[in-house]
Amino acid sequence: MIQKLPIHTVLELAKTNPIFDVRSPSEYMHAHIPGAISLPIFNDVERAEIGTNYKQKSVQDAIKIGLKHFGVEILNYIEIVEQQVKITSDKKVIVHCWRGGMRSAAMAWLLDFYGFDVILLEGGYKAYRQLVLQSFTLPIKFNVLGGYTGSAKTEVLLELKERGEAVIDLEGLASHKGSSFGALGLPTQPTQEQFENNLHKELLEYIQINAEGVLHQEHSIWLENESQRIGLVNIPKALFENIIASSLYVLQIPFEERLKFIVEHYGKFTTQELIDAVLRIQKKLGGLETKNVIQFIEEGSIYNAFELLLKYYDRQYLVAANRSTRIGKIINAETIEVTKNAKSILEKFKN
C-alpha cells in the first residue's frame, strides 16, 4: 500500500521508521532531512542525462532513459531497504525526492510491489524545507548565555542540559567555535542548508508546531550568545532577531581564569595551526600585535601568546556590548567551575 502524507505526519513517523531520500548523491550531500538514508534512484551523471533529454526531447525520452538505469539497480534497492527495515518492527518505509514527483513515485511503486508499506512525503524535500524556514519565524522563547571569551559557556550549557534544561548547542551544530580558532579540532562545517535542517531538528526536541503553524512550547531554550555568523554558516535572520531580543544571562569570570581555560583548550594544537588562525585576524589584530603573538607561538610561549589574543577578544566583546541595548543579568564567578556556575545561572534564572 502507498500513502501520500504531509510533512508534519511524516516527521512523526520518521521517529520510528526509516526514511529514504532518493535524490542524487550531490543533492543529498548538499543537504537532507536529518536521519534520512541516501538511496539515490539515479547518480549525478544519470540525473543530468535524464534532465537534458526531458528539456531537449520529451518526457517519454527522459522516462525511457530513467527506466534503463532504474531497472539495473532494482534488486540492490530492495536489499538496501530490507537491511534498514530489519531494525524496525514493521515493514513501513518513507520515501521522498525533491518535489514528490517521478523519482519517489517510481521507488514507491517498487517497494510497494515487493510488499513494503510505503509512505510518500507529499511535496517532497521542498515541503520539508518550507517547514524548516517557517519554524525560524515563530516566537520561540529563549534564554541566552553570554560572557567574555574563555568563560566555558558551551560547557556550562551542556551542564544545564544534564540538569534537565532545554539546551541547543549552536556551535556544536555549526561545527565551529565562532572565533578565528573556532574550526580547530572540529569536523568540516555543514552547508548553510544542512545547518538549518539540523537546527530545526533540535528545535523540535523542545517545541511542537501543528499543521496550521501554531507553536506550543513549555520551557525556554538555552542558547549561547553568538554573532549571527558562526564560521561559514549563519543563524537565520528571523531566528537571530528573536534570540537577541531574548533574556540575557552574562557570566563574569576573571581574566586569568579565562586565560588558563583558553590555553588548556587551544594550546594542544600545532604551531602552524595556531599561526594560521592568528593570520586570519591580522587586519583587526594589527601588524605589531600579530608579529608579537606569532613570535610567542614560535618560541613555545603559548600562555603569553593567548594573553595578547584574549585581550584582543575582550576588546571586541566590549565593542559589541556597547553597540547593544541589551541589559543582561550578571552572574559573578571566581573560577571556571562548570557545575557551580551552571547552578548559579539557574538560581539567577529562577529569581
Rg for the chain, CA atoms, rounded: 25
Alpha helix ranges (H) inside 115-254: 124-135, 153-162, 170-174, 192-203, 237-244
The answer to whether the beta carbons of residues 221 and 321 sit under 8 Å apart is: no
Q: Give the separation between CA 96 and CA 261, rounded to whole angstroms.
A: 46
**What residues contact residue 22 under an 8 Å CB cut-off, 6+ apart?**
39, 40, 41, 95, 96, 97, 103, 104, 107
Q: Give the separation between CA 21 and CA 103, rounded to whole angstroms.
A: 10
187 DSSP assignment: P
Which secondary-structure segment (H or E) carries 331?
strand 329-332
Which of 83, 81, 75 has the alpha carbon at shortest distance from 94? 81
Q: Give the separation between CA 252 and CA 56, rounded to whole angstroms.
A: 65
Q: Give the separation between CA 331 and CA 328, rounded to whole angstroms.
A: 9
Q: Give the separation between CA 142 and CA 145, rounded to whole angstroms.
A: 10
The answer to whether the beta carbons of residues 50 and 59 sit under 8 Å apart is: no
Q: Give, rounded to a whole angstrom, the gap between the first and last alpha carbons of the chain.
A: 56
- Residue 218 CB neighbour total at 10 angstroms: 9
Among candidate residues 36, 62, 65, 97, the one labeled active-site is 97
Beta bridge partners of 221: 142, 166
Which secondary-structure segment (H or E) carries 167?
strand 166-167
User: Catalytic residue at 266?
Assistant: no
Residues assigned a catalytic role: 97
